[in-house]
Structure 1
Amino acid sequence: MTTANRYLTSWESYWSSVSGAPGEIFWDADPVYAAQQDLDLFQSHVDPHLPLIDIGCGNGTQTRFLGSHFARVIGTEIAPAAVELAGKTNAAANISYRLLDVLNPDDAQVLHEEIGDANVYLRAVLHQLSPHDQPTAVQSIKRLIGEKGALYLVELSSAAEPFFAQLIEQYGPPPGLARVFQHQITPGMLHEDDLASLFPADRFTLLKTGPSHIRTVHSLPTGDVVKVPAFYAILRRRQ
């Protein structure tokens, strides 16, 4: 099985197993605690007239919110089941959902030729890829943003691994996270220092970076909501 097929098989299996009901998907936080906070960070750095591409959009919760702030938004996924679910649950007149394999830069090139330069929103996607595959995904992103677009990414940080270890030791695995593991999906981490190698300074300009978190839908017995340590970065191609 090829790498791309491995990701497709696992994610298609996962997305075929969920309905999109509230609380079912581990990372499916209310946009007030996710895309809204992200937008506050990147809005001043992007051209609002360009389309926005939400890579790894899942069921489209964040995509639909972003559609209220950009004229055209495209949610992309590798799994047909995710595209179908997003279209059913988070449709809007200015939003479309489509298949896109970020490990096939030619797919990204086709989309770029169709819509031109775009801004890219990337919420907790790169860490799901093996380190070997991450540079290929960056090639796709580079093609999508072109000369005028910008990339906003938020990813699990180096602090996420010990955070999860302590969480599971103390409370056991959250059901939503355990469900992900059942589909042979084993998320990794993306160290903050990896940015420099994935987005080298001779090809990308780092506009801003800092600490963040990925809010989940899982509440602990204490009443606290699980927030996974993360970091964000805003980049564009060097001119």
Structure 2
Amino acid sequence: MGVSERYVRAWEGFWAECTGEPGEAFWDADATLTAAPHTALLAAHADRTLPIVDLGCGNGTQTRYLAGYFPRAVGVDLSAAAVAHARRTDGDAVAEFEQLDLTDLVAVRRLGDRLGESNAYLRAVLHQSDPADRAPVAAAVALLLGRRGRGFVVEPTAAAKAVLHQVAERPGGPPEKLRRVRRHQLRPAEVASDELPALLYGAGLEILDQGETGLAMSERHPDGTRVALPARWFVVAAAGDRDA
């Protein structure tokens, strides 16, 4: 199995057009606003001696933060251009990066075999995935966790579309960061409120904790406030392993 050729071209084109510098992409907010609070939520349930895998790492901004919190951090992304950016911007080589199609569960299992049981971080990947790819992506999380790992999953809700519309319709038109997203047809497609838990349960995962949050973007509104998308977060484990 694998993602569609259209999906691959869209992401390769997006990252090839970018320099890969932190904050350049619409969603690439500083890790202190994203991975840091998310890690705090995950830490209440996770074994910090395990590695962590950043799924859909892009240019590696969040992966580099995670590398300071876990003994080993591996960022994976579908796009070869994104992985090249991530490696280049990781001047101190604190993390590892590799190309991986999360719907290729054979390749995901190989990664899991190399790393052993791991924690996982999945930030705003499912909502950008084609509907047919969402269940395999959730299954990839389960494969990497094994019995001891814990995962953090956060996704925009349907209410995020109203915020994106507000950004797009501002005087003067959409900001360049959002125009680039549109040029490459990376269309946010919210996952229905009842679909997220169903995807996680369907992958054999148990929800240990959950809540609502604002998913910080790198863009700001004209009044200077940061764009934040309404989102839901989940901490997950292999079903039946709450006390493992």
Given the two structures, how large is their TM-score scaled by the length of structure 2? 0.91
Partner Cα distance (1:194, 1:91) in 2: 39
Partner Cα distance (1:42, 1:93) in 2: 24
The SS at the match of 1:133 is helix
Alpha-carbon distance change, 163 to 202 in structure 1, aligned in 2, over 3 angstroms: closer
Which deviates the most, 169-178 or 55-64? 169-178
Alpha-carbon distance change, 4 to 107 in structure 1, aligned in 2, over 3 angstroms: farther
CA contact (8 A) 1:42 1:152 kept: yes
Alpha-carbon distance change, 143 to 202 in structure 1, aligned in 2, over 3 angstroms: closer
The SS at the match of 2:189 is coil
The SS at the match of 2:131 is coil
Q: Name the residue aligned to 1:227.
A: 228
Are residue 106 (structure 1) and residue 106 (structure 2) matched?
yes
CA contact (8 A) 2:112 2:143 kept: yes
Which deviates the most, 90-99 or 132-141? 90-99
Partner Cα distance (1:93, 1:50) in 2: 19
AA aligned to 2:178 is: L
Alpha-carbon distance change, 21 to 111 in structure 1, aligned in 2, over 3 angstroms: closer
Aligned pairs, how many? 238
Which deviates the most, 190-199 or 48-57? 190-199
CA contact (8 A) 1:4 1:103 kept: no
CA contact (8 A) 1:10 1:183 kept: yes
Partner Cα distance (1:139, 1:203) in 2: 8
Alpha-carbon distance change, 94 to 23 in structure 1, aligned in 2, over 3 angstroms: closer
Structure 2: where are the runs of 5+ without partners? none
The SS at the match of 1:186 is coil
Are residue 205 (structure 1) and residue 177 (structure 2) matched?
no
Which deviates the most, 210-219 or 157-166? 157-166
Partner Cα distance (1:173, 1:137) in 2: 30
Q: Name the residue aligned to 1:132.
A: 132
AA aligned to 1:102 is: L
Q: Name the residue aligned to 1:35.
A: 35
Which deviates the most, 218-227 or 88-97? 88-97
The SS at the match of 2:10 is helix
AA aligned to 1:215 is: A
AA aligned to 1:199 is: L
AA aligned to 1:210 is: G
Which deviates the most, 25-34 or 84-93? 84-93
Q: Name the residue aligned to 2:176.
A: 175
Q: Name the residue aligned to 1:116.
A: 116
Which deviates the most, 198-207 or 180-189? 198-207
Partner Cα distance (2:203, 2:32) in 1: 35
* Alpha-carbon offset, residue 218 of structure 1: 1.3
Alpha-carbon distance change, 201 to 10 in structure 1, aligned in 2, over 3 angstroms: closer
Alpha-carbon distance change, 143 to 182 in structure 1, aligned in 2, over 3 angstroms: same
* Alpha-carbon offset, residue 156 of structure 1: 0.5
Alpha-carbon distance change, 142 to 237 in structure 1, aligned in 2, over 3 angstroms: same
AA aligned to 1:17 is: E
